[in-house]
Amino acid sequence: MLVRYRPVLTGQPGGPPALCEVKYRSDLREHGAEYRPKFTAARRYARDRGWRFRVVTEREIRTPRLRNIRFLLRYRPMRVDDTDRDALLTALRTHGTATPDALLALARLNPLRYAEALATLWHLVATEQIGVDLDRLLTPYSVLRARTDRGDGGARRPANPSPVDAGEDEDGPR
């Protein structure tokens, strides 16, 4: 598969595309000698195109980041209340960082609409309008950050967010 890396929450350049071969570690141990010439050819193919070649195993794929992405996928396409969205983004920009519960309290949203407001918060994380370390499992204690890399604190909505295929069935964090 050809993977194009782009910076997420780091502000670092994404680098060249990578051609990735996905294998189970046990398969690599068992058939490593058989795969070696194929990987050499793939490495050469990628290099000729200015790409990188990587062998990726379940260790690199089945991580908290994958779980978080799977959890956030359901929130990405949803429509949110503009007033709630603006209140959450303004509160986070004002305070810089907050946990999910603290941000909901800081935004002074209607407590009877807690579930809708929480869904809006996760939508803002899923659409990268609110920053969080996706390499750590999302919890009520996760530190949310105001996005400043867009110049407007992340208030703009991305045009046409692209879907992500994470490839795992289990539910995300609760």
Per-residue pLDDT of the chain (174 residues; tens, 9 = 90+): 444 444 333 334 567 888 989 899 999 999 999 999 999 999 999 999 999 999 988 888 888 998 999 999 999 999 999 999 999 999 999 999 999 999 999 999 888 889 999 999 999 999 999 999 999 999 999 999 998 754 433 333 333 333 333 333 333 343
Assess whether 71 and 123 both reside in one domain: yes
Assess whether 89 and 15 both reside in one domain: no
In a domain, 140, yes or no: yes
Residues 6+ apart with CB under 8 A from 136: 64, 142
Structural domains of the chain, count: 2
Assess whether 130 and 108 both reside in one domain: yes
Range of the domain at 50: 2-61
**Tokens at 2, concatenated:** 């050809």
Domain boundary, last residue among 17, 36, 61: 61
Domain boundary, last residue among 10, 29, 61: 61
pLDDT at 18: 86
Assess whether 122 and 55 both reside in one domain: no
In a domain, 161, yes or no: no
Assess whether 45 and 69 both reside in one domain: no
How far, in Å, CA of 166 to CA of 174, rounded? 17
In a domain, 173, yes or no: no
In single-letter form, the type of residue at position 117 comes to A
Assess whether 81 and 15 both reside in one domain: no
Q: Which of 126, 120, 134 is nearest to 91 (CA)?
A: 120
How far, in Å, CA of 150 to CA of 13, rounded? 14
Coil, strand or helix: which one is 53? strand
In a domain, 165, yes or no: no
pLDDT at 13: 53
